[in-house]
Amino acid sequence: MAKKGIVSTADNENRKARVLFPESNSITPELPIALHISEVRVNDTVLVDFWGSSMAEGIITENLSVITPQSIPTKTSQLENDSGFVTVDQIPQASTYTHTQIVPSQTWSINHSLGRFPPVAVVDSAGSVVLGDVKYLSADDIEISFTAAFAGKAYLN
């Protein structure tokens, strides 16, 4: 049988805690804390698994206070970093670049001005994915070589 309760005393060094069950106003003797739980604190909500009729025949198996739906941020304004709250302007926006190769060519030279080395996906004019040899010449320039000349698009993310 499993029961939800609240930690009343915690001894993480010896891996034991006492648990209060508010509905019956009863407190367990010191119970062992399962090894997969890093620690429990007073007032944490925990799950205790009992295998006998005595309150001493149990083990704390889950710390339900570690992650609760209420503790997960749902808005950008609830996120924090070292300097305080994050604003929408501080969230990096992924920039992309689409290169259109109108004239069929075996080598495409692309200046994307993204300032980084982006992944590249190439499609021909029919929309089929084409593999080529991508060479990063700089953080803003790439060259793609193919076995045959064709027109299409290169998508840089």
Q: What pLDDT is stored for residue 72 in this prediction?
A: 56
**pLDDT score for 38:** 86
Write down the pLDDT at residue 80: 55
Beta strand ranges found along 23-136 (DSSP E): 26-27, 31-32, 45-50, 58-63, 80-81, 84-85, 97-111, 120-124, 129-130, 133-136
Give residue 91's pLDDT.
Answer: 58
Residue with tokens 């205790």: 48
For residue 46, what pLDDT is reported?
92
pLDDT averages per 10-residue partition of the chain, 157 residues = 91 94 91 90 92 87 71 56 55 79 96 90 92 93 96 93
User: Which one-letter amino acid corresponds to residue 86?
Assistant: V
Cα 98 to the center of its chain, rounded Å: 28
Distances (CA, A) of 107 to 54, 82, 126: 78, 46, 18
CB 41 within 8 A of CB 17: no
Give dist(CA 154, CA 123) in Å, integer.
Answer: 7
